[in-house]
Amino acid sequence: MSGLRGHAHVHHAVQRDGGASTIEVSALTGNLSAPADVKFELVARRQQLTLASGAKISAWAYNGEIAPELRVRQGDMVEVKLVNKDIDNGVTIHWHGYNVPNAMDGVPGITQDVVKPGQSFVYKFRAEQEGSYWFHSHQQASEQVARGLFGSLIVEPANKDKSYDEELTVIQHRWETDQGHRHAFGTEDGMQYEQMKPGTKVKLRVINTHNLSQNYILQGADYRIAAIDGVRIREPGLLPDGTAFRLGSGARHDVVFTMPDHPVMLRTGDSNNGKKDLAIVLYSGARPEAPSFEAASGQFDPSRYGRPAENEETSAAAFDREFEMILGNRMGFYNGKFHFLWTVNGEVHPNTPTFVVKEGELIKTTFVNKSLAEHPMHLHGHHMTVLKKNGKKVETPWLADTLNVHPGESYEVAFKANNPGMWMDHCHNLDHAATGMILHLMYD
C-alpha cells in the first residue's frame, strides 16, 4: 500500500463582471515601473491544517491556506508581496510556466536572495499570458512544495472566454509530513461533491502539484482538452467519455464539457480499483451514491489533437543551436550521502550541461530518457514547442512548459531565446531535481 494519495482542492471562480477589455497589445510589454493594477500579499508560515479527510498536517503554506488562488486578468500589472513569517530556511515564489522577467523568477541564488524569516520581497510582472498556471517556493523545493508552499495563478483572458460558464480549479497534491505520507481529499470515501446544473459549460483547470505523474479520467461526459500548460489548443476535438489524460508534476490541462443530466466525475488513477482513487463528482439534484469507477477507455495523446501550433519554431528550416540531453540514473555520492542519482548526460547538477544561447536564436533540444522513471522536464521562462516524439514528427506540435518524458521516449523540442537571463530547466519530480536532474539556460 503506497499511501501516496492526492488532494483535490476546488475553488469556485470569482468572475469579474464582463465588459470589453481596454488593453491594447502594445500595452502588454510595458516596463515594470507602471503602477500595479492588482496587489496581493502572501505570508509564508507554518500552520497546522486539518484536511477534509480529518488528517492533521504540519503544513508550510502561503497565508496558512491550502493552495490560495491568485486570479488576475490578462494585461494586469500584478504585484505580489511575499512575506516570510517563520520558514527557517527562507522561501521564494516561482511562477511556474509563467514567462516573467528573469529577476521575478523566484530562484534563490540565481535570480534573487532567499527571503528569510522577517523579510519580504515584492514580485511584479505584467500578466501577458492567459491561462492556468501555479506558483510555489523554489527554495529547497522538494520539501517546501510537498509541505504546501504553493497556489494557483489563474489569468483570465482579456476578452471573456465564452466557451464555458462555470469553472473549477482542481489541484491535486500529495502531502508528506513529519507523520509520514498523508493524503487529503474530500469526504470519508475520497469523494468531493459539487452541484452543477445540466447544460452548464464547465471548465476544470486541473493542476498536478505533487511529485509523481498522475492519470486522470473524466467519466460521464465526452470532453475536450482546451489548453495544455496554459496554452489554448486550436480546435480541440471531442474525446470520448472515459478517456484518460496524464499530467506530469507541475503540468496543467484545462478540461471542458457540457454538464449532462447525470453525474460527471473527474477521478485519478488508471484502474477500476475505486478504493485507491480520488474523485470530484459534479451532479445536479439529489447527491448521488458514489459512482462506480470504470477503467479508462483510451488515452489522450497531445501529439495528434486539434490543429497544430504554428510559430517560428514549427516553421524553422534550421535552428541556431542544437542540444541533446540524456536523462539517466546511477548510484553515487551527492552532498556527502550515497544516493540514487538522476543525471543529465551522465552528470549531476552542478556538473550538468548548460544551454548557452544568444537572444533571438532558435534553439532545438532533444530529451532522451534512458532511465527507469518518468521525468516531467520543466523549462523556466519559455514555453517549448514539441516537434518530434521518438524521432518522428508529431502531427500536431503543441506548447508545453512541463513535458513528461517516459522511460525509453525521446522528444525534440524547440524554443525561441526571447527572455534573457539565467534560467533553470529541471525535472519537476522535485526529488529528482534535488538529486541531480537540473540544467541551466544561460544567455551570453
Residues that bind Cu ion (CB under 5 A): 375, 427, 429, 432
For residues 174 and 205, which CB has a smaller minimum distance to Cu ion in the complex?
A: 174
Q: How far is the CB of 184 from ligand C2O (least distance, A)?
A: 20
Bridge partners for 23 per DSSP: none
Cell numbers placing 134 = 501555479
Q: How far is the CB of 325 from ligand C2O (least distance, A)?
A: 16
Residue 380's binding partner out of ligand C2O, Cu ion, none, with CB under 5 to 8 Å set by partner kind: ligand C2O
Site for ligand C2O in 388-427 (CB under 6 A): 424, 426
Binding mask 237-276 for ligand C2O (x = CB under 6 A): -------------x--------------------------
d(CA 413, CA 398): 10
For residues 250 and 306, which CB has a smaller minimum distance to ligand C2O in the complex?
A: 250
Residue 428's binding partner out of ligand C2O, Cu ion, none, with CB under 5 to 8 Å set by partner kind: ligand C2O
Alpha helices in 99-252 (DSSP H): 141-147
Triad 385, 358, 129: Cα angle to 5°: 40
Q: How many CB atoms sit inside 10 A of residue 232's CB? A: 17
Residue nearest to ligand C2O (CB): 96
Q: How far is the CB of 50 from ligand C2O (least distance, A)?
A: 27
**Residue 431 main-chain phi, psi, to 5 deg:** -70, -35
Which residue type is seen at 379? Answer: L
Cell numbers placing 380 = 523556466
Q: How far is the CB of 402 from ligand C2O (least distance, A)?
A: 8
Q: How far is the CB of 224 from Cu ion (least distance, A)?
A: 29
Q: How far is the CB of 34 from ligand C2O (least distance, A)?
A: 27
For residues 382 and 432, which CB has a smaller minimum distance to Cu ion in the complex?
A: 432
Q: How many CB atoms sit inside 10 A of residue 237's CB? A: 12
270: left (phi over 0), alpha (psi -120 to 50) or beta: alpha
**Beta pairing, strands 410-416 & 362-369:** antiparallel
Which residue type is seen at 190? Answer: G
Residues that bind ligand C2O (CB under 6 A): 94, 96, 136, 138, 250, 378, 380, 424, 426, 428
